[in-house]
Structure 1
Amino acid sequence: MLIEIILFSFIAGITVFLGGLISYFFEKTITNRVVKRKIVHFLTAFVTGIMLSAVAFVLIPKGMEGLNIGSSVVIFLLGALTFYYLDSFIEKNSANIPQVLAMLLDFIPESIALGALFVYDHNVGVLLAIFIAFQNFPESFNSYIELRNSHFSKYKSLVILFCLSFIGLIFSLLGYYLLKDTYEITSALMIFAAGGILYLIFQDIAPSIRIKNSRFLAMGVNLGFVIGMLSEALV
């Protein structure tokens, strides 16, 4: 069990570094600004679809299994309100790296839930790990660009993302050891994360997708959601 948690947490987290690495080569090889902008917006739409599918297929349905409807609604709204205030704090104190910090906002609670979920439902744990991995990849791609725009060097930007890729492993192990006997708390954490993620999607991510005369970019949301549908079917 523990080896599986370490393995899947590592797989889910290492895409933070891999996304940054791909973004590094992207920066070197693609010089057309219009093309760059469209790729970044498409990836943003893609991750939106994946985040929506994580909420729809794992966080809400599995979280509500361990809670009554009243508790679920309250915790869901509490998650949204918490992310609302954290988002406001990040906007004022983020040193121009809100994308990086926003990535951590959903990565950390999802990772805690991942570690605890393996105890109760192995397949759901694997499914959540897949969602996190796909979600982190485009988020870290954009985070690398953000770090570079904030005057971090290429090397420092990659080092930061490499270090962040192990955050999930640490918090998954914490979730396993601290929450493995508390299914209600794990359920509450998933509902809480779902509320926060939905807030982030429609406050920060979705409004940034649209580019004039480029309606096709929004199809990235559908493609991202398809990843969730396929993952749900396979697992």
Structure 2
Amino acid sequence: MEPLYSVILLTLGAGLAMPLGALIGNFERIKPEWLEKELMHAVTAFGGGALLSAIALVLVPEGVLHFSPVFAALLFLSGGAAFMLLDIWLSRSQTSISQLVAMLADFIPESLALGAAFALGNVNGGLLAALIAMQNLPEGFNAFRELKSTSHYRSITIIFWFALLALCGPISGVIALFWLAEWPAVVSGIMLFASGGILYAVFQDIAPQAVLEKHWAPPMGAVMGFALGLVGYMLVH
């Protein structure tokens, strides 16, 4: 398959995991209530594990290829700082679209990295797409639940917006495929920057939400998410 079609299909598929997660969140109801609560925390932790596997197995290893240790660390830290400032702004603005903005902050850099991976002939493109989808599914699930409980939007409206967000993936991927392929150092920089930001998001938003006192399934969800990413990485290599 031509790289262009591969990038479009993979980024779109990864992005559509967001409205799919929202759709599951809309219809999923489990009784008793304690089991539903534990499942939600486990799903959140699973997404965090998938994100960590993307950072550890794909983004950072590819990102450090063109930089010295000091410059790589600075790019990584700048990504974390940028996501922190975005988090502060969203917290102060108290807008109902903050969850959408937060998902885009993850999804766009990852889609850029995916498109660039295909442009550079990197076989990790398919693995990265799978990891993005694994992250987006629980993220869409939890973001839908939060938006539904804190805003007046109807379920179909929220799912529609999540579906529109999915289109940002192909757009970002195609931009990277055609315009960033000639600058592999820029691509590596984007990967490191995104890694720092995603790691900040994991420990600021995902890990605290996954904690549930006197329950042990949520932490195992994180382990399972990372393990799934590890299996995909080893199959690719």
Range of TM-score over shorter length: over 0.9
Structure 1 stretch 158-167 or stretch 92-101: which is displaced more? 92-101
1:121 corresponding residue in structure 2: 121
**Would you say how many aligned residue pairs link Structure 1 and Structure 2?**
233
Q: What is the SS of the residue equivalent to 2:182?
A: coil
Matching residue within 6, 15, 18 for 1:16: 18
Distance between the aligned counterparts of 1:155 and 1:207, measured in 2?
28
Give runs of aligned pairs for residues 185-200 of structure 1, distance below 5 A.
185-200=186-201
Which stretches in structure 1 are left out of the alignment for 5+ residues? Answer: none
The 8 Å contact of residues 47 and 139 in structure 2, kept in 1 or not, is answered as yes
Give runs of aligned pairs for residues 190-229 of structure 1, distance below 5 A.
190-229=191-230
- The 1:35/1:96 distance shift into structure 2, 3 A limit, reads farther
Distance between the aligned counterparts of 2:213 and 2:98, measured in 1?
24
TM-score (norm 1): 0.94
Q: What is the SS of the residue equivalent to 1:122?
A: coil
Cα offset, 1:184, TM superposition = 0.1
1:108 corresponding residue in structure 2: 108
Cα offset, 1:137, TM superposition = 0.6
Give runs of aligned pairs for residues 25-104 of structure 1, distance below 5 A.
25-26=27-28, 29-30=29-30, 32-104=32-104
The 8 Å contact of residues 100 and 140 in structure 1, kept in 2 or not, is answered as no
Which stretches in structure 2 are left out of the alignment for 5+ residues? Answer: none
The 8 Å contact of residues 8 and 126 in structure 1, kept in 2 or not, is answered as yes
Structure 1 stretch 221-230 or stretch 121-130: which is displaced more? 121-130
The 8 Å contact of residues 38 and 217 in structure 2, kept in 1 or not, is answered as no
The 8 Å contact of residues 22 and 143 in structure 2, kept in 1 or not, is answered as yes
The 8 Å contact of residues 77 and 195 in structure 1, kept in 2 or not, is answered as yes
Superimposed CA distance per residue, residues 64-118 of structure 1 (whole angstroms, 9 cap, x where no aligned partner): 1122212101101111111110110111124245433222111111111111110
Structure 1 stretch 1-10 or stretch 80-89: which is displaced more? 1-10
Superimposed CA distance per residue, residues 130-149 of structure 1 (whole angstroms, 9 cap, x where no aligned partner): 11111101100111112211
Distance between the aligned counterparts of 1:216 and 1:12, measured in 2?
26
Structure 1 stretch 185-194 or stretch 15-24: which is displaced more? 15-24
- The 1:193/1:161 distance shift into structure 2, 3 A limit, reads same
1:169 aligns with 2:170: yes
Cα offset, 1:177, TM superposition = 2.0
Distance between the aligned counterparts of 2:191 and 2:75, measured in 1?
9
Give runs of aligned pairs for residues 124-139 of structure 1, distance below 5 A.
124-139=124-139
Distance between the aligned counterparts of 1:216 and 1:30, measured in 2?
16
The 8 Å contact of residues 99 and 142 in structure 1, kept in 2 or not, is answered as no
Structure 1 stretch 17-26 or stretch 221-230: which is displaced more? 17-26
Distance between the aligned counterparts of 2:94 and 2:47, measured in 1?
22
Cα offset, 1:153, TM superposition = 0.6
Cα offset, 1:232, TM superposition = 0.2
Give runs of aligned pairs for residues 129-168 of structure 1, distance below 5 A.
129-149=129-149, 150-168=151-169
CA RMSD of aligned residues (A): 1.4
Distance between the aligned counterparts of 1:3 and 1:79, measured in 2?
29
TM-score (norm 2): 0.93
The 8 Å contact of residues 42 and 220 in structure 1, kept in 2 or not, is answered as yes
